[in-house]
Chain A
Amino acid sequence: AQSVTQPDIHITVSEGASLELRCNYSYGATPYLFWYVQSPGQGLQLLLKYFSGDTLVQGIKGFEAEFKRSQSSFNLRKPSVHWSDAAEYFCAVGAGSGTYKYIFGTGTRLKVLA
């Protein structure tokens, strides 16, 4: 069965520090992979996506993610975190024909220290 694991429930970093959020997936075929961010009272916003091609994908707000098939991972990175990045981050894999049925991880809540 398809699944997504985000092993870190909470992460705290200082402003300006680098960030890496982990995501591991289980999926039988080549996955469609996504990272979404959810701020309090806000809807889920797509940060970036991987469908095919270059395994290092760039997203909005300075985020990037690298697809590693051998490790079944799609980790999210940012070189320098801003206080406004504090939010909850969800990794998702597209499952089903047409990738319409996302399977989400349980999320990682990011806290940024000033």
Chain B
Amino acid sequence: DTGVSQDPRHKITKRGQNVTFRCDPISEHNRLYWYRQTLGQGPEFLTYFQNEAQLEKSRLLSDRFSAERPKGSFSTLEIQRTEQGDSAMYLCASSLGGGVNTGELFFGEGSRLTVL
């Protein structure tokens, strides 16, 4: 399978704990995105990487959230001191930048976080 993969698919944690999600994009894609989706809502943009550079962070991404893409390949999203409001599906997507078809995103199946 050469699609976007995310791990873990489900994570249940207690409030105050730290969690980390991993995303492996499609191998030739240089752009990687994180979105968050809560129940009954569409995905909301969190942050975006081009290669290893984090180019934009949403205001939704509080100081407790950090994302990295150290070698321009996989990415991690860490949430520190989780709160119940962090419960959501965290979606990763990737795309191939440049050209007339710039912007088509390919999504992974998501990592569902439940904070108790």
A residues bordering B, Cβ < 8 Å?
Answer: 4, 32, 34, 36, 41-46, 49, 51, 90, 92, 94, 96, 98-107
Residues on the B chain within 8 Å of A51, using CB: 100-101, 103
B103–A104 CB distance below 8 A:
no
A101–B48 CB distance below 8 A:
yes
| In the complex, B25 has a CB within 8 A of chain A | no
A108 to chain B, nearest CB (A): 10
Partner of A32, one of B48, B103, B110: B103
| In the complex, B79 has a CB within 8 A of chain A | no
Interface of B is mostly: loop
Residues on the B chain within 8 Å of A101, using CB: 33, 45, 48, 56
Q: Please, what's the 1-or-0 string for B38-59, where 1 marks a CB less than 8 Å from any CB in chain A?
A: 0011111100100000001000
What are the nearest 7 A-B pairs in CB distance?
A: A104-B42, A99-B103, A44-B107, A43-B109, A43-B107, A94-B103, A101-B45
Partner of B91, one of A43, A49, A92: A43
Given the known inter-chain contacts A51-B101, A98-B102, A98-B103, please indicate yes or no for A106 contacting B42, CB distance below 8 A: yes
